[in-house]
Amino acid sequence: MKTPKRIQPLMDDGLVDEVISRLMSGKEADVFIVRCGDEIRCAKVYKDAVKRSFKKAAQYQEGRKVRNSRRARAMEKGSKFGRKQQEDTWQNAEVDALYRLASAGVRVPKPYGCFDGVLLMELVTDDAGDVAPRLGDVGMTEDQAEEDHAVMMQYVMRMLCAGIVHGDLSEFNVLVDDYGPVVIDLPQAVDAAANNNAQAMLTRDVENMKNYYGQYAPGLLNTQYAKEMWDLYEEGELHPEYPLTGECTEDDDDADVDAVLEEIKAALAEEEARLERIRVANEE
């Protein structure tokens, strides 16, 4: 096909030899199948900030590290330079997350770098070479759903161990190849330790997976992986091979309720005794 304008610089630099076809036109990016030498790869071309819902980005960017202070100030001010920097941070966030997750034992497309707002990565395919379908487009047996859900929970846990929460995990951002689920679409990945919304995002990610696989394996609908993971993470006990159960031990809240009830009872008894003393005193 005709080379899209945004990919031309990569052609000029010899990073891409041919654009084969457009795979998908998403809200935030256009995705192409490209040829690099004798390898077929995937090129994700980010759309401009104006074409994306940029307000939403604020929630995700909280706590994102910007090393250069001039850059941090510019981003705060929202100046033109700032917006350009924010855009770069956003785009680099996905390639950074891909590298970090690949080395943390999470299956993601292998990244080849991000150049001029174009992310080059492995094209996820099935064994026949066809582009892998999204999780939302495949059906499965109950056993398969349970198995894949367990794999996904391990991936979410490993991401958390690497300090990352996906933030937009759903059946549309997971591909399925012959070996199982592959996590994609990470530009909004958040820093688990620095972002105040991290726990809420982790919970939403885990709920999405639970509800999706739960359609095929209803037994999953009672599991509580998000709470289990977050509690362990906060206690510093989470590690990449932790054997998650999806069950949560009764926490102290219940005990606290009992303690409060005991206190109320004691206060009522005390008040009764006080009234009784007054009554007795009045009678004397």
- Using CB under 6 A, list all residues that contact ligand ATP: 23-24, 26-29, 31, 42, 44, 109, 121-124, 131-132, 134, 172-173, 175, 184-185
Find which of ligand ATP, Mg ion, none residue 275 binds, CB within 5 to 8 Å per kind. Answer: none
Q: Is 61 in the site for Mg ion (CB under 5 A)?
A: no
Give me the catalytic one of 116, 168, 205, 258: 168
List, in order, residues 6 or more apart from 1 with CB less than 8 Å away: 19, 20, 21, 22
- CA distances to 9, 60, 226 from 195, in Å: 35, 8, 16
Which residue's C-beta sits nearest to Mg ion? 185
> Which residue's entry shows tokens 């202070």?
69
Secondary structure class of 41 (helix, strand, coil): strand
Reply yes or no on whether 17 is catalytic.
no
Q: Is 185 in the site for Mg ion (CB under 5 A)?
A: yes
Residue 221, token pair as written in the block: 């609908």
Cα–Cα distance measured from residue 226 to residue 223, given in angstroms and rounded to the nearest whole number: 9
How many H helices and E strands in the chain?
Answer: 8, 9
Find which of Mg ion, ligand ATP, none residue 192 binds, CB within 5 to 8 Å per kind. Answer: none
Where helices occur in 124-168 by DSSP H, the ranges are: 142-161
Reply yes or no on whether 88 is catalytic.
no
Q: Considering the complex, what minimum distance in angstroms separates the CB of residue 206 from ligand ATP?
A: 18
Q: Is 188 in the site for Mg ion (CB under 5 A)?
A: no
When the beta carbons of 171 and 228 are compared against Mg ion, the nearer one is 171
> Which residue's entry shows tokens 């398969």?
144
Cα–Cα distance measured from residue 80 to residue 77, given in angstroms and rounded to the nearest whole number: 9
What x-and-dash track marks residues 139-178 binding Mg ion by CB under 5 A?
A: ----------------------------------x-----
When the beta carbons of 44 and 246 are compared against ligand ATP, the nearer one is 44
Cα–Cα distance measured from residue 226 to residue 195, given in angstroms and rounded to the nearest whole number: 16
Q: Considering the complex, what minimum distance in angstroms separates the CB of residue 25 from Mg ion?
A: 11
What residues pair up with 41 in beta bridges, in sequence order? Answer: 34, 122
Q: Is 223 in the site for Mg ion (CB under 5 A)?
A: no
Residue 260, token pair as written in the block: 């409060």
When the beta carbons of 56 and 274 are compared against Mg ion, the nearer one is 56
Q: Considering the complex, what minimum distance in angstroms separates the CB of residue 92 from ligand ATP?
A: 15
When the beta carbons of 118 and 220 are compared against ligand ATP, the nearer one is 118
Q: Considering the complex, what minimum distance in angstroms separates the CB of residue 168 from ligand ATP?
A: 7
Q: Is 94 in the site for Mg ion (CB under 5 A)?
A: no
Give me the catalytic one of 185, 251, 252, 258: 185
Q: What are phi and psi of 31, to 5 degrees?
A: -115, 130
Cα–Cα distance measured from residue 147 to residue 195, given in angstroms and rounded to the nearest whole number: 31
When the beta carbons of 28 and 62 are compared against ligand ATP, the nearer one is 28
Which residue's C-beta sits nearest to ligand ATP? 26
Cα–Cα distance measured from residue 200 to residue 59, given in angstroms and rounded to the nearest whole number: 11
Q: Considering the complex, what minimum distance in angstroms separates the CB of residue 133 from ligand ATP?
A: 8
Q: What are phi and psi of 114, to 5 degrees?
A: -125, 120
Residues that bind Mg ion in the complex, under the rule CB under 5 A = 173, 185
Which residues does the annotation mark as catalytic?
168, 185
